[in-house]
């Protein structure tokens, strides 16, 4: 009798697996791979990054019209960027920008593409071009201020940045105290 229930259970599992759509199978594969690649504390098994990128991009390739396609591409870009696969990240961001212009994170993808060019690839010319495009296309986006700041400090050495921040801090202090310490004069009232 036990064998009967075991066989019936196995048959039910096989029937369920056979009834799953290709999309459901792909999503199950993504969930399983994510669980295997990410540890409980959020760390990633760097030896399996290619596998995870492959299932994300595979879903977007197989189901390009699915609303989850750009979401998985965004995840792939994020993981690629954070595991020093910068050129791959740029490709994924480009795919989002070009194929999914209405996706809610497309502006962020454009900004992050500029970030990768600036900070990971050292291509300041490309970063400048992308940040300017971002500001032009998305002036009201939450990242517009970040793009402007990035442009302002683009290519500055750490020493130059310290000097700028010190000057800005001194100017801010002068405004707060109402005096001009550098000239020794008090402001006119």
pLDDT per residue over 63-73, tens digit each? 999 999 999 99
- 137, 110 in Cβ contact below 8 A? yes
Exposed/middle/buried for 34, CB within 10 Å: 0-12, 13-18, 19+?
Answer: middle
- Of all residues in the chain, the percent with pLDDT exceeding 90 is 64
Report the mean per-residue pLDDT for the chain: 85
Write down the pTM of the prediction: 0.76
Tokens representing 134? 């971002």
- 60, 74 in Cβ contact below 8 A? no
Instruction: Give me the DSSP letters along 52-65.
Output: HHHHHHHHHHH-TT
- Of all residues in the chain, the percent with pLDDT exceeding 70 is 79
pLDDT of amino acid 186: 43
Most confident stretch, 19-33, 59-73, 175-189:
59-73
pLDDT of amino acid 8: 53
pLDDT over threshold 60, residue 18:
no
- Give residue-wise pLDDT tens across range 87-144: 999 999 999 999 999 999 999 999 999 999 999 999 999 999 999 999 999 999 999 9
Distance (Å, whole) CA 75 – CA 54: 11
Q: Angle 73-75-79 (CA atoms, 0-180°, nearest 5)?
A: 115
**Where do we find the tokens 């396609």?**
69
Q: How far, in Å, are 114, 129, 135 from residue 117 at the CA level?
A: 5, 10, 16
């Amino acid at each position: 009798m036990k064998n009967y229930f075991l066989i019936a259970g196995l048959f039910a599992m096989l029937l369920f697996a056979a009834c799953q759509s290709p999309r459901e199978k792909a999503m199950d594969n993504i969930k399983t791979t994510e669980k295997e690649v990410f540890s409980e504390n959020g760390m990633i098994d760097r030896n399996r990054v290619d596998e995870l990128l492959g299932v994300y991009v595979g879903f977007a390739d197989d189901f390009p019209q699915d609303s989850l396609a750009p979401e998985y591409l965004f995840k792939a870009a994020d993981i690629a960027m954070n595991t020093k696969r910068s050129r791959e990240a740029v490709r994924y961001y480009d795919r989002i920008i070009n194929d999914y212009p209405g996706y809610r994170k497309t502006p962020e993808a454009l900004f992050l593409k500029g970030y990768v060019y600036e900070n990971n690839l050292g291509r300041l010319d490309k970063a400048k071009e992308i940040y300017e495009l971002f500001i032009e296309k998305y002036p009201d986006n939450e990242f517009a201020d970040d793009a402007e700041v990035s442009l302002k400090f683009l290519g500055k050495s750490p020493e130059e940045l310290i000097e700028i921040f010190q000057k800005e801090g001194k100017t801010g202090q002068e405004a707060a105290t109402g005096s001009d310490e550098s000239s020794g004069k008090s402001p006119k009232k």
